[in-house]
Structure 1
Amino acid sequence: MSQQIKNSISKFKSKEALIGIVGLGYVGLPLMLRYNAIGFRVLGIDIDEQKVEKLNAGESYIEHIPGVKIQQARTSGFEATTDFSRALECDALILCVPTPLNKYREPDMSFVINTTDALKPYLRAGQVVSLESTTYPGTTEEELLPRVQEGGLIVGEDIFLVYSPEREDPGNPSFETRTIPKIIGGDTAACLEVGIALYEQAIDQVVPVSSTKAAEMTKLLENIHRAVNIGLVNEMKIVADRMGIDIFEVVDAAATKPFGFTAYYPGPGLGGHCIPIDPFYLTWKAREYGLHTRFIELSGEVNQAMPDYVLSKLIDGLNDAGKALKGSKVLVLGIAYKKNVDDMRESPSVEIMELIESKGGTVAYSDPHVLVFPKMREHHFNLNSEPLTVETLAEFDAVVLATDHDKFDYDLIKQHSKLIIDSRGKYRVPAKNIIKA
């Protein structure tokens, strides 16, 4: 073992290392808090000046991360900056940046590439660079490796390169950063060794794999497994509905089987940064090898069609009441992508809102976790959350239950809504004013 490897490992084990986290969002911020909590100094780097100002003032911009935790981190060595030159100070650089799709449903690697390019001048011997962003197999090797070595540093000898995919589940109280096992693959055996030393301080279980490609593929398999099964149950929902069967009753019943079945529930489409996006990373990369991932692509088509299915149920319900969608007022309940969080990434609720507007409906929303519609890369509504009252509900021709937050008063909604389009199976007992979608 070279002296450089020994020095790097020693710094992590002794907690003398400065941990640099690049990208302070839903992944980077919890990771910062974890390293800070166990005694590491942490430097957060982000291009968003507003985020950096808030963090340095001890404020949180993510609902499920209390401000008091940021304040505690600030008093014990955490600092945020927009100055990439300070990467030179860091012993680890953990990249937690977005990897969205472009308008052609192809990987948009600009955030990863631009971030790596911004860090390049400040890379030095002894550092470990870890990519956590979900991506296609080969990204670390093809995009990061040549950039990291551009200045003359040799990966595996001078500097260490790993891929360790994030596994955050915002709003899930059963798991936290520490308790979720961490997959890690290194560009070389030495990279893996140093990467394990970095992560084993903060995570209860580190799971090494043979390469960065294997680690990248592991993350995709996890999310594709979920996307395919949700696609299956969404298709089953349409069939069951046509046959007059409640798919939620069926899934509940099937879930009593103690082996060989995992319950997945249908919804209005896929949301979040991972499940709607990651399958397309693999389908895109597979084409380079002359392969077509038909199974994955089919589930993607089914899931992408769900907002249209919800819209069709809304149109049918209004028609039965003698109304057209054009000119009707529709309240969308819940615009976060899943219950009890403020995360709007890839939320199907937003697509449903756009579809309603495109058909001439007037749309509003109510979400106790998102009080003002945020600025998004592709969507914007100049709206605030409507208070959920008897008077508010009376104003609307229909409500669409898109995200089933626990804070909603479902009895109030049922009693005072003219028409409810339930895309989450919240109302199991049939009622005249409820249509399952």
Structure 2
Amino acid sequence: MLKKLINRIKNKKISVCIIGLGYVGLPLAFRFLNAKINVIGIDSDIAKINKIKSGSSYIENKSFKKNKYYKEFQKKVSNNYTKVGDADVIILCLPTPLSKNNTPNMSLLKNCILKIKKFVKLNQTLILESTVYPGATLELFNLLNSDKKFILGKNFFLGFSPERENPGDKLFSYKSTPKVISGFSKQCLSIVYFLYKEICNKVYKANSIKVAELSKLLENTYRSVNIGLVNEFKIIAKKLNVNIWDIIDAAKTKNFGFRPFSPGPGVGGHCIPIDPIYLSWYMKNKNYNSKIIEISSTLNSSMPVWVCNQIFNYLKKNKIKTNKLLIIGLSYKKNTADTRESPSIDILRKFVNKKFHVEFYDPYVKKYDFESKYFNNKSLNLKSIKKYKKDGIIIIGTNHKNINYKNILENSKLIFDTRGVYSRNKNKKIIFV
């Protein structure tokens, strides 16, 4: 049976069902489509389904519309979980957020498992791409297999392959980025390997599912810790009245043992603010309190408050009276429309609470729903920024590339730069925070 399954993969005679068509699942679907593999798409969000069927993409990669397999895929997208039974491989690409009490929220994955439970069949392969705590992949399979009809490696196959999408990066490709894979057994690993070789140039076989699960947590915890470090250094530099960007420029001339990270107003998205907390929570259940992980997460989450306090204190100290604010960039990172966990939104909220009339300009975010009479929900035209030359302040919240920062500088009275877009500009109306 194993050889038969692998041959079907190599001959592109299989169907892959991707559940969760967001920033991870939708690009993954098109990678398999481009490899001439049949793809079934499932998502519980009707709005997403309708957008796909209408031919519009809700993520930045507009080339999807031009894809020659797009029309074929549109017919196979629905919220119908019975379609799982038509697939050979099921890949879960669902979000794993945090609950209000800062603990892992696995409800989307667990609910999905319960929905597909009666439709899964013998000799299918289940792969998880969602970020989870160690051991969660097997926990989800046990939930699926509560009646014990499946035997892993014999009549059902299980794998984990952490997603490595990079929203906003037009050059991102699995031609250059390796894909980590894992399987419950050698048989499981073989199927997962040959499947991903259809869309990836380089596939790395992790020694176990738990190793692969932890590798994803290490990747993003590494980033969280280093961003936390450079954010603290920004606070230190501010205390000492030194430009943090001058310090980084000097330090990164060292061509060994140092990798520069950029400070900012905090961290956002669905990885860096969340993944370290998953690991920290898991280790508390193992009677270990992680130290550096928790400190960096706490510091990063406090940065929007620090930024706002710096601005409020500056305005007070310099007796600047204004209630007008323009935020440049609402998304959590450059060149994307993704506002999940965005520190710009936290900053926006602080100023709205202070009764500031807040407007925003973001070339990717055209509208943001925020119920307040003090907030303009629609993105400004860049020409309308000129009114901030006489009154009001501007905050650079996101460092998108396709913004005319020179024009903003010329048509502003006071700019608070959280991203270092003016790092080499000594104009006195630029304040780094």
Q: What TM-score bracket applies, with the shorter chain setting the length?
A: over 0.9
Counterparts of 1:374 and 1:144, CA distance in 2? 38
Shift of residue 352, structure 1, vs aligned partner: 0.7
SS for the counterpart of 1:122 is coil
Letter in 2 for 1:335: L
- The answer to whether the 8 Å contact 1:156/1:191 transfers is yes
Counterparts of 1:67 and 1:134, CA distance in 2? 25
Stretch moving more, 358-367 or 288-297: 358-367
TM-superposition CA deviations, 1:375-425 (whole Å, max 9, x none): 89xxx9771111222434347511110101122211121122121110011
Shift of residue 77, structure 1, vs aligned partner: 8.1
What's the counterpart of residue 413 of structure 1?
408
Structure 2 gaps, min length 5 = none
1:176 and 2:173 are equivalent in the alignment: yes
SS for the counterpart of 2:382 is coil
What's the counterpart of residue 324 of structure 2?
329
How many residue pairs align between the two structures? 429
Counterparts of 1:130 and 1:396, CA distance in 2? 55
1:201 and 2:195 are equivalent in the alignment: no
- The answer to whether the 8 Å contact 1:329/1:362 transfers is yes
SS for the counterpart of 1:368 is coil
Shift of residue 83, structure 1, vs aligned partner: 0.3
What's the counterpart of residue 154 of structure 2?
157
1:227-242 matches, within 5 Å, as 227-242=224-239
1:387 and 2:384 are equivalent in the alignment: no
Counterparts of 2:180 and 2:370, CA distance in 1? 33
- Root-mean-square deviation (CA), in Å? 2.0
1:224 and 2:234 are equivalent in the alignment: no
TM-superposition CA deviations, 1:354-385 (whole Å, max 9, x none): 11122232222110110011589xxx977111
Structure 1 gaps, min length 5 = none
Query: Compared with structure 1, are the counterparts of its residues 76 and 384 closer, same or farther at alpha carbon in structure 2 (3 Å cutoff)?
Result: closer
- The answer to whether the 8 Å contact 1:163/1:184 transfers is yes
Match of 2:418 among 418, 423, 433: 423
Counterparts of 1:256 and 1:211, CA distance in 2? 39
Stretch moving more, 15-24 or 172-181: 172-181
1:90-109 matches, within 5 Å, as 90-109=87-106
- The answer to whether the 8 Å contact 1:234/1:267 transfers is yes
Counterparts of 2:245 and 2:141, CA distance in 1? 45
1:275-286 matches, within 5 Å, as 275-286=272-283
- The answer to whether the 8 Å contact 2:104/2:278 transfers is yes
Counterparts of 1:397 and 1:56, CA distance in 2? 43
Q: What TM-score results when the alignment is normalised by the length of structure 2?
A: 0.94
Shift of residue 151, structure 1, vs aligned partner: 5.9
TM-superposition CA deviations, 1:78-128 (whole Å, max 9, x none): 621110001100111110000000111111001111111111111111211
TM-superposition CA deviations, 1:187-209 (whole Å, max 9, x none): 22221111112111111111111
Letter in 2 for 1:369: Y
Query: Compared with structure 1, are the counterparts of its residues 66 and 204 closer, same or farther at alpha carbon in structure 2 (3 Å cutoff)?
Result: same
Letter in 1 for 2:16: I
SS for the counterpart of 1:171 is coil
- The answer to whether the 8 Å contact 1:46/1:82 transfers is yes
What's the counterpart of residue 42 of structure 2?
45
1:279-298 matches, within 5 Å, as 279-298=276-295
- The answer to whether the 8 Å contact 1:145/1:161 transfers is no
Q: What TM-score results when the alignment is normalised by the length of structure 1?
A: 0.93
Counterparts of 2:258 and 2:379, CA distance in 1? 38
Counterparts of 2:340 and 2:174, CA distance in 1? 20
1:11-30 matches, within 5 Å, as 11-30=8-27
Letter in 2 for 1:53: N
TM-superposition CA deviations, 1:175-231 (whole Å, max 9, x none): 214432111121222211111121111111111112111110000000000000000
Counterparts of 1:76 and 1:44, CA distance in 2? 8
1:341 and 2:336 are equivalent in the alignment: yes
What's the counterpart of residue 353 of structure 1?
348
